[in-house]
Amino acid sequence: MSLKTALCLLSLPLAAQQRPDAAKLEGQAAALRALVEKAPRLALEKTDFHIQPPNPEFGIGYPSSVAMDRSGLIYVLQRSAEPNRPPVKGKADPVIVVSRDGKFLRSWGSGLYKIPHSIRVDKAGNIWTVDAASSLVIKFSPQGEKLMEIAVGGQPEKRGFNGTTDVAFAPNGHLFISDGYGNARILEYTADGKRLKEWGSAGTGPGQFQQPHGISVDERGIVYVADRQNGRLQRFDMNGKYLGEWDHLGMVTTVTAVGNVLWIGTQQRNENTSGPGWLMKIDAKSGKILGVTDSAHAHHVVNVTPDQDLLTGARPDQIYWFRKR
């Protein structure tokens, strides 16, 4: 290799330096398609979910994440404007609360977000949102009262997507945050927002990440990280000790632990991030695929309802509810 070639490679972003070649990606895609073909089909029916407009000016953009609380209220985190995309026609706050039948109830968050990314509901019914540009994680009451704000910080100089991606809740009440745009790390906080520690670095080895995009903690205290650009789901204990990984599930984008199973959104690594994919039910101990359904391009952030249905969003302005048949 010439000195000029080496210098050119070193100047590339880390993800570009370490991305497998096309032949390897196609081999992985073929293996994933074979697994999907053999897997049981989930008894879920994709239905369109529509918000009843509260006024003629109402309109939403991309529903980046959708969640439901124990009472059945649905929380939509939407982007009326996205980088490199035209703004939508209509006005709506970033956080929208609706009933199960789509009736608009309330909204909030104007001016708080740059790129709304993920929304989660904790066991106490509080609402948590994550911004992928400002790296702010905000806790709200169900009525929209701001209860806490965590400014993760430490972002490199960059515009657009350059911040945190998701938040998860541990059995001991601690918070785990994936910082996957710009950085490649996991951070742990106390329930009252005090930072305890962080781990991870950019790369392809154990405990390294290329865009940790989703995170969840199960009842045993195992931390699951959707390491999107590395095409794997990594597992850690709550001290950050690497426990293993599953690299047969494709480009895993999101993960939610419920009991002994994991729900993930994934796609082939040789597709762009808005390409077609699947929602999968995974055995949390073995990584075996227990069931699969087509995602209809909606696998960015998937949340599980109390009834074990799935809620997600798709561009440009579509919300999907995958209901049990």
Q: 256 to each of 278, 279, 302, how far by Cα in Å? A: 14, 11, 7
Domain-embedded: residue 282: yes
Mean pLDDT of all residues belonging to the chain: 93
Residue 3 has what pLDDT?
Answer: 38
Domain-embedded: residue 13: no
Q: Beta partners for 234?
A: 225, 245
Rounded distance between C-alpha atoms, residue 121 and residue 273, angstroms = 25
Q: Using 50, 70 and 90 to split pLDDT, how confident is the model at 18?
A: low
Residue 272 has what pLDDT?
Answer: 83
Q: Using 50, 70 and 90 to split pLDDT, how confident is the model at 189?
A: very high
Cis status of the peptide bond prior to 316, with omega within 30 of 0: yes
Domain-embedded: residue 150: yes
Amino acid at 244: G
In this prediction, residues 150-168 reach a mean pLDDT of 93
In this prediction, residues 164-177 reach a mean pLDDT of 98
pLDDT per residue over 35-65, tens digit each? 999 999 999 999 999 999 999 999 999 999 9
Those residues with Cβ within 8 angstroms of residue 146's Cβ, 6 or more apart along the chain or in another chain: 138, 139, 140
Rounded distance between C-alpha atoms, residue 138 and residue 159, angstroms = 21
Position 273 pLDDT exceeds 90: no
Q: Tell me, rounded to whole angstroms, the distance of Cα 2 from its chain centroid.
A: 40
Q: What is the DSSP letter of 171?
A: T
Q: 6 to each of 47, 184, 204, how far by Cα in Å? A: 51, 24, 20
For the chain, how far is it from start to end, CA to CA, in angstroms? 58
Q: What is the DSSP letter of 41?
A: B
Position 4 pLDDT exceeds 80: no
Residue 157 has what pLDDT?
Answer: 85
Which token pair is 164?
């945190």
Residue 20 has what pLDDT?
Answer: 79
Position 14 pLDDT exceeds 50: no
Domain-embedded: residue 186: yes
CATH number at residue 140: 2.120.10.30
Residue 85 has what pLDDT?
Answer: 82
Name the residue among 150, 103, 94, 140 with its Cα closest to residue 120: 140
Greatest pairwise CA separation for the chain in angstroms? 64
Domain-embedded: residue 184: yes
Q: What is the pTM of this model?
A: 0.93
Q: How many domains does the chain fold into?
A: 1
In this prediction, residues 28-36 reach a mean pLDDT of 95
Domain-embedded: residue 25: no
Residue 19 has what pLDDT?
Answer: 65
Lowest mean pLDDT among 117-126, 245-254, 270-279, 307-316: 270-279
In this prediction, residues 224-246 reach a mean pLDDT of 98
Domain-embedded: residue 163: yes
Which token pair is 30?
């073929």
Rounded distance between C-alpha atoms, residue 82 and residue 87, angstroms = 7
Reported residue count of the chain is 325
Q: What percent of the chain clears pLDDT 90, i.e. is strictly above it?
A: 86
Rounded distance between C-alpha atoms, residue 320 and residue 154, angstroms = 35
Range of the domain at 230: 48-324
Domain-embedded: residue 259: yes
Q: Is 94 helix (H, G, I), strand (E, B) or coil?
A: coil
Q: Is 178 helix (H, G, I), strand (E, B) or coil?
A: strand
Those residues with Cβ within 8 angstroms of residue 315's Cβ, 6 or more apart along the chain or in another chain: 62, 274, 297
Position 12 pLDDT exceeds 50: no
Position 10 pLDDT exceeds 70: no
> Are the C-beta atoms of residues 36 and 276 closer than 8 Å to each other?
no
